[in-house]
Structure 1
Amino acid sequence: MKLEKIAKINTGLLTTRKKAKSKNLSKGIYKLLTVNAIDNYGNINLDKLDDFYSNEKISNQYLTKKGKIYIRMNEPYTSIYIDEENEGILFPAYFVEIELRNINFLPEYIDWYLNSDKNKRNYLKAQSGTLIPSINQKIIREIEIPEKTLEEQEKILNVYKLFKKQMELLDNLKIKEEQKFKAITDKLIEG
Protein backbone atom coordinates (compact mmCIF):
# COMPACT_ATOMS: atom_id res chain seq x y z
CA MET A 1 0.00 0.00 0.00
CA LYS A 2 1.34 3.44 -0.91
CA LEU A 3 2.48 5.55 2.04
CA GLU A 4 0.25 8.45 0.96
CA LYS A 5 -2.82 6.20 1.43
CA ILE A 6 -2.03 5.59 5.11
CA ALA A 7 -0.28 8.80 6.18
CA LYS A 8 -0.34 12.58 5.99
CA ILE A 9 3.01 13.95 4.76
CA ASN A 10 4.20 17.51 5.53
CA THR A 11 7.31 19.47 4.68
CA GLY A 12 9.56 21.05 7.31
CA LEU A 13 10.22 24.74 7.85
CA LEU A 14 12.23 26.79 5.37
CA THR A 15 14.54 28.13 8.09
CA THR A 16 16.22 30.82 5.99
CA ARG A 17 13.03 32.88 6.20
CA LYS A 18 12.80 32.61 9.98
CA LYS A 19 16.44 33.00 11.00
CA ALA A 20 17.17 36.02 13.22
CA LYS A 21 19.81 38.43 11.94
CA SER A 22 21.62 38.10 15.27
CA LYS A 23 21.25 36.29 18.58
CA ASN A 24 20.32 39.59 20.26
CA LEU A 25 17.37 40.13 17.88
CA SER A 26 16.06 36.59 18.38
CA LYS A 27 12.41 36.07 19.39
CA GLY A 28 13.05 32.44 20.30
CA ILE A 29 15.69 29.74 20.48
CA TYR A 30 14.87 26.25 19.19
CA LYS A 31 16.81 23.02 18.97
CA LEU A 32 17.23 22.29 15.26
CA LEU A 33 17.24 18.79 13.78
CA THR A 34 20.39 18.44 11.70
CA VAL A 35 22.00 15.80 9.52
CA ASN A 36 24.83 15.31 12.04
CA ALA A 37 22.45 14.69 14.94
CA ILE A 38 21.06 11.47 13.43
CA ASP A 39 22.93 8.19 13.27
CA ASN A 40 22.44 5.52 10.59
CA TYR A 41 19.92 3.70 12.76
CA GLY A 42 17.56 6.61 13.23
CA ASN A 43 18.68 7.65 16.71
CA ILE A 44 18.93 11.33 17.61
CA ASN A 45 21.96 12.53 19.54
CA LEU A 46 20.51 15.48 21.48
CA ASP A 47 24.00 16.87 22.11
CA LYS A 48 24.51 17.36 18.36
CA LEU A 49 21.39 19.45 17.75
CA ASP A 50 22.08 23.02 16.66
CA ASP A 51 20.57 26.09 18.27
CA PHE A 52 18.31 28.02 15.90
CA TYR A 53 17.68 31.70 16.67
CA SER A 54 14.36 32.68 15.17
CA ASN A 55 13.06 36.11 14.16
CA GLU A 56 9.56 35.07 15.33
CA LYS A 57 7.74 32.39 17.30
CA ILE A 58 7.72 29.16 15.27
CA SER A 59 4.43 27.35 14.74
CA ASN A 60 4.08 24.01 16.56
CA GLN A 61 3.48 22.36 13.18
CA TYR A 62 7.27 22.54 12.61
CA LEU A 63 8.21 20.90 15.92
CA THR A 64 8.66 17.14 16.23
CA LYS A 65 5.84 15.23 17.90
CA LYS A 66 5.69 11.86 19.60
CA GLY A 67 4.47 9.07 17.33
CA LYS A 68 5.46 10.78 14.09
CA ILE A 69 8.25 9.87 11.68
CA TYR A 70 10.67 12.29 10.06
CA ILE A 71 12.80 11.46 7.05
CA ARG A 72 15.76 13.27 5.54
CA MET A 73 15.31 14.15 1.90
CA ASN A 74 19.04 13.82 1.20
CA GLU A 75 21.54 11.01 1.63
CA PRO A 76 21.57 8.73 3.54
CA TYR A 77 17.77 9.26 3.72
CA THR A 78 17.52 8.15 7.34
CA SER A 79 14.12 8.21 9.01
CA ILE A 80 13.54 8.69 12.72
CA TYR A 81 10.64 7.76 14.95
CA ILE A 82 9.94 10.36 17.63
CA ASP A 83 9.38 9.31 21.23
CA GLU A 84 8.70 11.60 24.21
CA GLU A 85 12.44 12.32 24.64
CA ASN A 86 12.69 13.83 21.14
CA GLU A 87 9.58 16.00 21.02
CA GLY A 88 9.71 19.73 20.33
CA ILE A 89 12.70 19.79 17.97
CA LEU A 90 12.44 22.15 14.99
CA PHE A 91 12.58 20.21 11.72
CA PRO A 92 13.78 22.06 8.61
CA ALA A 93 12.63 21.77 4.99
CA TYR A 94 15.07 18.99 4.13
CA PHE A 95 12.93 16.70 6.33
CA VAL A 96 9.35 15.59 5.86
CA GLU A 97 6.97 14.63 8.63
CA ILE A 98 4.93 11.44 8.30
CA GLU A 99 1.80 11.17 10.42
CA LEU A 100 0.08 7.80 10.19
CA ARG A 101 -3.68 7.85 9.64
CA ASN A 102 -4.24 4.07 9.52
CA ILE A 103 -4.44 2.05 12.76
CA ASN A 104 -3.38 -1.11 10.93
CA PHE A 105 0.19 0.17 10.72
CA LEU A 106 2.55 0.87 13.62
CA PRO A 107 4.66 4.03 13.18
CA GLU A 108 7.77 2.15 14.37
CA TYR A 109 7.14 -0.45 11.64
CA ILE A 110 6.94 2.28 8.99
CA ASP A 111 10.16 3.78 10.39
CA TRP A 112 11.86 0.36 10.19
CA TYR A 113 10.76 -0.10 6.59
CA LEU A 114 11.83 3.41 5.54
CA ASN A 115 15.31 2.67 6.98
CA SER A 116 15.57 -0.75 5.31
CA ASP A 117 18.35 -1.34 2.78
CA LYS A 118 15.77 -2.36 0.18
CA ASN A 119 13.94 0.92 0.52
CA LYS A 120 17.14 3.00 0.61
CA ARG A 121 18.23 1.40 -2.70
CA ASN A 122 14.96 2.70 -4.17
CA TYR A 123 15.81 6.19 -2.92
CA LEU A 124 19.19 5.98 -4.65
CA LYS A 125 17.52 5.04 -7.95
CA ALA A 126 15.06 7.94 -7.65
CA GLN A 127 17.42 10.65 -6.40
CA SER A 128 18.15 13.77 -8.38
CA GLY A 129 20.84 16.42 -8.21
CA THR A 130 24.58 15.98 -8.41
CA LEU A 131 26.00 18.35 -5.81
CA ILE A 132 23.58 17.31 -3.06
CA PRO A 133 21.60 14.25 -4.21
CA SER A 134 18.07 14.29 -2.84
CA ILE A 135 14.60 12.85 -3.24
CA ASN A 136 11.31 14.70 -3.30
CA GLN A 137 8.00 14.31 -1.50
CA LYS A 138 6.48 12.47 -4.46
CA ILE A 139 9.01 9.65 -3.99
CA ILE A 140 8.08 9.42 -0.29
CA ARG A 141 4.36 9.45 -1.03
CA GLU A 142 4.66 6.57 -3.49
CA ILE A 143 6.70 4.21 -1.30
CA GLU A 144 4.99 0.82 -1.23
CA ILE A 145 4.65 -0.30 2.39
CA PRO A 146 4.42 -4.09 2.82
CA GLU A 147 1.14 -4.98 4.51
CA LYS A 148 1.67 -7.11 7.61
CA THR A 149 -0.59 -7.97 10.52
CA LEU A 150 -0.01 -6.01 13.71
CA GLU A 151 1.43 -9.19 15.24
CA GLU A 152 3.92 -9.56 12.36
CA GLN A 153 4.85 -5.89 12.68
CA GLU A 154 5.52 -6.38 16.41
CA LYS A 155 7.79 -9.36 15.67
CA ILE A 156 9.75 -7.35 13.13
CA LEU A 157 10.09 -4.48 15.61
CA ASN A 158 11.35 -6.79 18.36
CA VAL A 159 14.13 -8.01 16.06
CA TYR A 160 14.88 -4.44 14.93
CA LYS A 161 15.07 -3.12 18.51
CA LEU A 162 17.44 -5.94 19.43
CA PHE A 163 19.61 -5.14 16.39
CA LYS A 164 19.73 -1.43 17.28
CA LYS A 165 20.68 -2.25 20.87
CA GLN A 166 23.49 -4.53 19.66
CA MET A 167 24.79 -1.81 17.31
CA GLU A 168 24.74 0.71 20.16
CA LEU A 169 26.72 -1.69 22.38
CA LEU A 170 29.22 -2.34 19.59
CA ASP A 171 29.64 1.39 18.98
CA ASN A 172 30.28 1.96 22.69
CA LEU A 173 32.76 -0.94 22.75
CA LYS A 174 34.57 0.54 19.76
CA ILE A 175 34.88 3.91 21.50
CA LYS A 176 36.24 2.29 24.67
CA GLU A 177 38.74 0.22 22.70
CA GLU A 178 39.93 3.33 20.84
CA GLN A 179 40.38 5.16 24.15
CA LYS A 180 42.28 2.19 25.58
CA PHE A 181 44.53 2.04 22.50
CA LYS A 182 45.25 5.79 22.70
CA ALA A 183 46.13 5.49 26.40
CA ILE A 184 48.51 2.59 25.68
CA THR A 185 50.04 4.48 22.75
CA ASP A 186 50.55 7.59 24.89
CA LYS A 187 52.31 5.52 27.57
CA LEU A 188 54.55 3.90 24.95
CA ILE A 189 55.49 7.28 23.50
CA GLU A 190 56.21 8.78 26.93
CA GLY A 191 58.39 5.81 27.81
Structure 2
Amino acid sequence: MKLKEITTISSGINERRNPQGTIYYLGASDFVDFHSINPLIEPSLMPSSKLEKHFLTKEDIVVLAKGHNGFIAHTLKHFVKPMVASSVFMVLRDTITSVIPSYIAWYINLESTQKELRGYSRGTALPAINRTILGELDIEIPTLEIQKNIVAIDELKKQESKLTKQLDHLKTTKLELLLKNKIQS
Protein backbone atom coordinates (compact mmCIF):
# COMPACT_ATOMS: atom_id res chain seq x y z
CA MET A 1 0.00 0.00 0.00
CA LYS A 2 1.06 3.56 -0.58
CA LEU A 3 1.76 5.49 2.63
CA LYS A 4 -0.79 8.14 1.60
CA GLU A 5 -3.48 5.40 1.68
CA ILE A 6 -2.56 4.44 5.25
CA THR A 7 -2.16 7.79 6.97
CA THR A 8 -2.51 11.51 6.40
CA ILE A 9 0.70 13.39 5.75
CA SER A 10 1.20 17.05 6.58
CA SER A 11 4.18 19.34 6.90
CA GLY A 12 5.47 20.69 10.17
CA ILE A 13 5.10 24.41 10.72
CA ASN A 14 7.50 27.32 10.64
CA GLU A 15 7.17 29.60 13.67
CA ARG A 16 9.31 32.15 15.48
CA ARG A 17 10.59 31.00 18.87
CA ASN A 18 9.92 33.06 22.00
CA PRO A 19 11.55 32.41 25.40
CA GLN A 20 8.24 33.19 27.14
CA GLY A 21 6.41 30.55 25.07
CA THR A 22 4.36 27.75 26.60
CA ILE A 23 4.11 25.52 23.51
CA TYR A 24 6.90 23.04 22.75
CA TYR A 25 8.40 23.33 19.25
CA LEU A 26 10.00 20.07 18.15
CA GLY A 27 13.13 20.44 16.04
CA ALA A 28 15.61 17.90 14.71
CA SER A 29 18.11 18.73 17.46
CA ASP A 30 15.55 17.88 20.19
CA PHE A 31 16.24 14.17 19.90
CA VAL A 32 18.94 12.78 22.22
CA ASP A 33 19.18 9.69 20.02
CA PHE A 34 17.22 8.41 17.07
CA HIS A 35 14.30 7.46 19.28
CA SER A 36 14.08 9.75 22.33
CA ILE A 37 13.10 13.38 22.74
CA ASN A 38 15.38 15.32 25.04
CA PRO A 39 13.63 15.44 28.45
CA LEU A 40 15.09 18.91 28.98
CA ILE A 41 13.31 20.42 25.97
CA GLU A 42 11.87 23.85 26.78
CA PRO A 43 8.65 25.43 25.47
CA SER A 44 9.36 28.14 22.92
CA LEU A 45 6.16 29.15 21.10
CA MET A 46 3.46 31.54 22.17
CA PRO A 47 -0.04 30.05 22.23
CA SER A 48 -2.32 30.82 19.31
CA SER A 49 -5.51 29.30 17.92
CA LYS A 50 -3.76 28.41 14.65
CA LEU A 51 -1.30 26.15 16.50
CA GLU A 52 -3.95 23.96 18.11
CA LYS A 53 -4.70 21.95 14.96
CA HIS A 54 -0.97 21.13 14.74
CA PHE A 55 -0.64 19.76 18.30
CA LEU A 56 1.06 16.37 18.25
CA THR A 57 -0.44 13.27 19.88
CA LYS A 58 1.11 9.98 21.01
CA GLU A 59 -0.17 8.23 17.88
CA ASP A 60 1.59 10.68 15.54
CA ILE A 61 4.80 9.93 13.69
CA VAL A 62 7.28 12.65 12.78
CA VAL A 63 9.58 12.03 9.83
CA LEU A 64 12.67 14.14 9.32
CA ALA A 65 12.18 15.60 5.85
CA LYS A 66 15.53 17.38 5.48
CA GLY A 67 19.12 16.55 6.22
CA HIS A 68 22.15 14.40 5.56
CA ASN A 69 21.39 11.83 8.29
CA GLY A 70 18.47 10.19 6.53
CA PHE A 71 14.75 10.63 6.82
CA ILE A 72 14.33 9.08 10.25
CA ALA A 73 10.82 8.44 11.59
CA HIS A 74 9.97 8.86 15.27
CA THR A 75 6.86 7.73 17.10
CA LEU A 76 5.81 10.03 19.90
CA LYS A 77 5.27 7.71 22.83
CA HIS A 78 6.64 9.86 25.65
CA PHE A 79 6.64 13.58 25.03
CA VAL A 80 5.57 16.80 26.67
CA LYS A 81 2.37 18.58 25.65
CA PRO A 82 1.39 20.77 23.96
CA MET A 83 3.92 20.27 21.17
CA VAL A 84 4.06 21.06 17.46
CA ALA A 85 6.57 19.85 14.86
CA SER A 86 8.83 22.31 13.08
CA SER A 87 9.02 22.51 9.31
CA VAL A 88 11.92 20.03 9.14
CA PHE A 89 9.36 17.27 9.77
CA MET A 90 6.48 15.61 8.00
CA VAL A 91 3.73 14.56 10.40
CA LEU A 92 1.86 11.30 9.87
CA ARG A 93 -1.44 10.98 11.72
CA ASP A 94 -4.89 9.41 11.56
CA THR A 95 -3.40 6.05 10.62
CA ILE A 96 -5.93 3.43 9.52
CA THR A 97 -6.87 0.95 12.26
CA SER A 98 -5.25 -2.04 10.57
CA VAL A 99 -1.78 -0.46 10.89
CA ILE A 100 0.21 0.31 14.04
CA PRO A 101 1.96 3.73 13.87
CA SER A 102 5.14 2.26 15.40
CA TYR A 103 5.22 -0.27 12.57
CA ILE A 104 5.17 2.55 10.00
CA ALA A 105 8.08 4.26 11.77
CA TRP A 106 10.00 0.97 11.87
CA TYR A 107 9.37 0.41 8.16
CA ILE A 108 10.47 3.94 7.22
CA ASN A 109 13.65 3.52 9.30
CA LEU A 110 14.68 0.32 7.50
CA GLU A 111 17.94 0.82 5.62
CA SER A 112 16.30 -0.30 2.36
CA THR A 113 13.51 2.28 2.80
CA GLN A 114 16.01 5.00 3.70
CA LYS A 115 18.00 4.17 0.56
CA GLU A 116 14.83 4.43 -1.51
CA LEU A 117 13.92 7.80 0.04
CA ARG A 118 17.46 9.12 -0.53
CA GLY A 119 17.11 8.10 -4.18
CA TYR A 120 13.93 10.18 -4.54
CA SER A 121 15.13 13.14 -2.46
CA ARG A 122 15.61 16.59 -3.95
CA GLY A 123 18.49 19.00 -3.42
CA THR A 124 22.22 18.55 -3.37
CA ALA A 125 23.27 20.87 -0.54
CA LEU A 126 20.53 19.58 1.77
CA PRO A 127 18.63 16.48 0.64
CA ALA A 128 14.88 16.77 1.26
CA ILE A 129 11.69 14.85 0.67
CA ASN A 130 8.19 16.25 0.35
CA ARG A 131 4.66 14.96 1.02
CA THR A 132 4.35 13.55 -2.49
CA ILE A 133 7.59 11.54 -2.25
CA LEU A 134 6.68 10.23 1.20
CA GLY A 135 3.07 9.52 0.20
CA GLU A 136 4.14 7.39 -2.77
CA LEU A 137 6.28 5.14 -0.57
CA ASP A 138 5.09 1.53 -0.79
CA ILE A 139 4.73 -0.11 2.62
CA GLU A 140 4.12 -3.82 3.07
CA ILE A 141 1.40 -4.36 5.67
CA PRO A 142 1.36 -7.74 7.44
CA THR A 143 -1.29 -8.79 9.97
CA LEU A 144 -1.68 -6.79 13.19
CA GLU A 145 -0.14 -9.65 15.15
CA ILE A 146 2.99 -9.64 12.99
CA GLN A 147 3.18 -5.84 13.21
CA LYS A 148 3.00 -6.04 17.02
CA ASN A 149 5.75 -8.68 17.07
CA ILE A 150 7.98 -6.58 14.80
CA VAL A 151 7.48 -3.49 16.98
CA ALA A 152 8.18 -5.51 20.16
CA ILE A 153 11.38 -6.99 18.69
CA ASP A 154 12.47 -3.53 17.51
CA GLU A 155 11.90 -2.13 21.02
CA LEU A 156 13.98 -4.94 22.52
CA LYS A 157 16.76 -4.21 20.00
CA LYS A 158 16.71 -0.52 21.00
CA GLN A 159 16.92 -1.48 24.68
CA GLU A 160 19.79 -3.85 23.94
CA SER A 161 21.67 -1.11 22.08
CA LYS A 162 21.13 1.32 24.95
CA LEU A 163 22.31 -1.22 27.55
CA THR A 164 25.33 -2.17 25.43
CA LYS A 165 26.29 1.49 25.19
CA GLN A 166 25.93 1.93 28.97
CA LEU A 167 27.95 -1.22 29.62
CA ASP A 168 30.71 -0.04 27.27
CA HIS A 169 30.81 3.31 29.08
CA LEU A 170 31.08 1.58 32.47
CA LYS A 171 33.87 -0.70 31.22
CA THR A 172 35.76 2.29 29.82
CA THR A 173 35.40 4.17 33.12
CA LYS A 174 36.55 1.14 35.13
CA LEU A 175 39.55 0.59 32.86
CA GLU A 176 40.54 4.26 33.08
CA LEU A 177 40.38 4.14 36.88
CA LEU A 178 42.46 0.94 37.02
CA LEU A 179 45.11 2.35 34.67
CA LYS A 180 45.19 5.70 36.45
CA ASN A 181 45.74 3.90 39.78
CA LYS A 182 48.64 1.96 38.20
CA ILE A 183 50.24 5.21 37.08
CA GLN A 184 49.84 6.83 40.48
CA SER A 185 51.19 3.88 42.51
- TM-score when scaled to structure 2? 0.84
Matched with 2:17 is 19
From 137, 140, 147, give the equivalent of 2:141: 147
Matched with 1:72 is 64
Q: Which runs of 5+ in 2 are unaligned?
A: none
CA contact (8 A) 2:13 2:85 kept: yes
Report the aligned-residue RMSD.
2.4
CA contact (8 A) 1:33 1:89 kept: yes
Residues 163 and 89 of structure 1: CA distance in aligned 2, closer, same or farther (over 3 Å): same
From 16, 36, 41, give the equivalent of 1:43: 36
Q: Which runs of 5+ in 1 are unaligned?
A: none
* Amino-acid identity (%): 21
CA contact (8 A) 1:64 1:89 kept: yes
Q: Tell me the distance in 2 between the aligned counterparts of 1:102 and 1:134.
A: 26
- TM-score when scaled to structure 1? 0.81
SS of equivalent residue, structure 1 residue 121: helix
CA contact (8 A) 2:122 2:129 kept: yes
From 146, 149, 153, give the equivalent of 1:159: 153
Aligned-residue offset at 1:90: 2.8
Counting matched residue pairs gives: 182
SS of equivalent residue, structure 1 residue 96: strand
Q: Does 1:54 align with 2:45?
A: yes
CA contact (8 A) 1:64 1:86 kept: no
Q: Tell me the distance in 2 between the aligned counterparts of 1:85 and 1:13.
A: 18
